[in-house]
Amino acid sequence: MPRCSKGFTLVELSIVLVIISLLVAGTLAGKNLIASSELKALIANVNEYKAAIKQFELRYDGLPGDIPDAVEYWGAVESANGDNDGVIDTDFLDGTGLTASNEPFQSVKQLALADMITLSVNLNGVWGTGFVEATAAIAGNVPGASVDEVLLYVRCCSASDDDTVTADFNNHVGIFSIHSDNRYRAGAITPIEAKGIDEKMDDGLPDFGFVSAGGSWDGTNYDTKTPCYTGTGTSSVYQSANATYKDAKGCQMMFAYDWD
């Protein structure tokens, strides 16, 4: 007579459920560790640039990209002279056909020429030496951060972005990605990530303090801040709890530093 097959006992089922729970918890913990390490890497990138710019200013008596005698140090092929007005000016990746002589492009290039930054390029695209070319139309170079598809820039105050805070800054380091049209800046990190960085470095407010956030180009301007944050000033809040936006890369970030 055939024997009846036995099912799982309650004890066996409990053991299986415990094992599954441990595997899920381990996977989530691993993802959190990766996210945490990436945030730390981005913060380290920003701090590296801020320290390098201060060092550059002390050595060359001016800001990278802005010094009037860069060609004397590195030649006309590798560099271009700035206007020596104390700011790293002229907008950056704003769709107006900027060139490699633009001060923000020159700032990072001159930091590299002076051996003051270590560049890590992690964006798919057309490469220059240690840089990624932002677009074929804009013949400038943009350094990559330590996290995939995140790029860095250095420039001065701009009221054209959706961040009234940085319009009041002198110079700042920013993180962004390249918009799909290859001519404008777009969000590089999620609201959750942006909030984590802001809380570690400043006050956790996207539109207040020395660390601020901005939105992506929407085809007309940078006023589309909603995928990154809502509100203004001390009432501004990252969209880190919004199910629609929290995991989407809707945030640029600006890190102010008064190099003067």
The answer to whether the beta carbons of residues 142 and 151 sit under 8 Å apart is yes
pLDDT at 199: 93
Tens of pLDDT along 194-236? 999 999 889 999 988 888 888 877 767 665 788 999 998 899 9
CA distance 194 to 219: 23
pLDDT at 107: 83
243 pLDDT exceeds 90? yes
pLDDT at 119: 56
The least confident of 16-30, 50-64, 185-199, 201-215 is 16-30
Average pLDDT over residues 69-94: 79
Spell out the residues 6+ positions from residue 193 whose beta carbon is closer than 8 angstroms to its own: 35, 38, 39, 251
16 pLDDT exceeds 80? no
Closest C-alpha among 82, 257, 58, 57 to residue 156: 257
94 pLDDT exceeds 50? no
